Amino acid sequence: MGRVPKIAGLQSGVTMVELMIVITILAVVLVVAVPGYQEMIQNNRQISEVYLLRSTLANARSEALTRREPVVVCPTGDGIACADTDSWGNGYMTFVDSDGDDENDLGEERIQWETRDTSVSVAFDNVARLVRFTPRGTALGFNGIFRFCDERGIENAKGLVLNAMGSVRAAADPNDPFTWNCQ
């Protein structure tokens, strides 16, 4: 009763030409999209590092104001002692520095420790190689610029400026007015 007759010559399926066209379109899309996707991943990784350090510095300043004691943020690899380096890429910690010696001594509270394992290098240009917030929240003598670089070099570098009053802002242009290098 309701049978559909077969039409002679009509076949279902995909021809070799159609398959080749689809494969060619996919190849073109991949060639165009993958580099853009990788660039987006690298940008997001770098921006995440900037935001993490910015929030760590803001938290340290807030702790210094709240506790009315000096708080130090310094590079570290083990979360116990400050490293004597301007490279913050392996990690950094925040601690209350009750005795004012810029070292995380036994009995002083470690507030935060961020371990880093990333392709983004973080460097600080202050000779002290650490940040000390006073009980009033200032960072006089410990101010400077943090630069965030990856394998793409200076063209894609990001920066944070910590001023003497203890506030942090993004560096607008890595080429002006500061001297940057990415290594």
Question: Domain boundaries in the chain?
Answer: 16-170
**Is the pTM value of this prediction over 0.85?**
no
Chunked into runs of 10 residues, the chain (183 residues) has average pLDDT values of: 60 81 87 80 90 96 97 94 90 93 89 87 91 96 92 86 94 56 66
Positive or negative, the Cα torsion across 124, 130, 46, 50?
negative
- What pLDDT score was predicted for residue 94? 96
Least Cα distance to 120 among 52, 35, 36 occurs for: 52
Is the distance from CB of 182 to CB of 166 less than 8 angstroms?
no
Regarding the domain delimited by 16-170, which CATH topology (the fold level of the hierarchy) does it fall under?
minor pseudopilin epsh fold (3.55.40)
In what helix (H) or strand (E) does residue 58 lie, and over which residues does it extend? helix 16-67
